[in-house]
Each structure stands twice: as structure tokens, then as C-alpha cells.
Amino acid sequence: MEARERFAELVRESGASLAALSRKIGRNPSYLHQYVTKGSPRRLEERDRRVLAGIFGVPESALGGPKENNVAEEEWFQVPRFQLEASAGFGALGGEEEPFDVMRFSRKWLREQGLQPEMLSAIRVVGDSMDPLLRDGDEILVDQRPNPFRDGIHVLRVGDFLQVKRVQAAAPGKLMLISANPAYEPVEVSLTDVNMIGRVVWKGGRV
């Protein structure tokens, strides 16, 4: 099966919109429709292929990329990295909500952690309010499954600001946003003012 047919099959199976996928890779809404129906472009560009492979959880070779030697590609999942920064401070405006890169994780390891690969995304932490638990520059995996809320470290949007905090239930209809750094006071917010993005399930960063 050629790459274009495989891509069209993945789109059908997922129920995704070609227009939405085109926007995710920074293209005009008709870009992938033309690729599938008219064969233009003839091949996906490397960046587009890498991001789409991460979204669908397939090796790049399935979308026309080169086959890797000595690596069983099906054993790996490419989690998309987003140009977003979850502030561990007073709040930062989110960046463009489209993937620009991927991080590879063992599918076996993800299963052992009870995680669903397709519902994961990676973003960067900025600021020091979650220090030392999460440090400025750390990369975090966010589990975006719509599970019932429970206390823990979450990425959430409050107004225009994306934050990462320990979130606890407070008074009815309220949440408490708690920083690991004692220099920052807890903040109580209304549920109606918060959009829960997902739960932080892993972190990585430089030593």
C-alpha cells in the first residue's frame, strides 16, 4: 500500500477531518484534501510527515518516510510536541496550538504506565513556581483522556493563560491551584473559569 493510500486509510479509521489535520501542520485547510484526492503534493514534506506520524502513532515509513534499520518501528510511539509553554509562574500566554516535533516512547513502557498513546502530548514548562518538582525547561507528558477529576498535577487554561499546578478540589464549584514553590501562594478559582487540559504523567529535563 502506497503512502497516500495508507494516510487516507488512517484518516478514515480515526474519523479525523482533513481540514483540521491540515491546520495542525500549519497548512491551508485544503492541503491534505488535495494530497489525498489529486496527488498534490506527490509526497509529504519531512516535517509534515513527522507530525502526522506522531498524531496517528505510526512510523514515518508508513507515510512515505525512509525505513529505519535495526529498529522495530512499530515498538515506538511518537508523541507530538506542541509549541505551548505551561507556566509554572504567574501565567504565560500559550503559543501556537499545533505540533512542531515529536518525542519517541516505547509502546510497551506506555502500556506499563497505563497510558493511551494517542491521548498524550508533550509541552514545555516555564517558570519556577513548581520548583523543585517541575523545573523551568522541563518537558512534560500530558494525558488528555477525559477521566473523572482527581487531585494531582494538571495543565489547565485559566482565561488566556496556560498553567501547570497541583490542583485540588476546594469549596463546591471551586478548585485550589497550589504551587510546589512556597514563595507562591495557593490560588482559588471557579470551575467555570478553568479549562482542564490534562494530567501530567511524566517529566523529563536536563540535569
Quickly list H helices, 82-147: 107-112
Please give the class, per CATH, of domain 74-204: mainly beta
Alpha carbon 156 to its chain's center: 13
pTM attached to this predicted model: 0.63
CB-based contact 107:77 (threshold 8 Å): yes
Give the CATH number of domain 3-67. Answer: 1.10.260.40
Task: Pick the closest to residue 45 from 62, 25, 70 (CA basis).
Answer: 25
CB-based contact 175:189 (threshold 8 Å): yes
In this prediction, residue 56 carries a pLDDT of 84
Could you tell me where in the chain the CATH 1.10.260.40 domains are found? 3-67
Could you tell me where in the chain the CATH 2.10.109.10 domains are found? 74-204
Q: Give the pLDDT of the chain (207 residues) as one tens digit per residue.
A: 689 998 999 898 888 899 989 988 889 999 999 999 998 998 999 888 888 988 887 888 888 888 755 445 568 888 988 877 777 654 444 545 677 888 989 988 998 999 998 899 999 999 999 999 999 999 999 999 888 888 999 999 988 788 999 999 998 999 999 999 999 999 999 999 999 999 999 999 887
- Which grid coordinates are listed for 148? 473523572
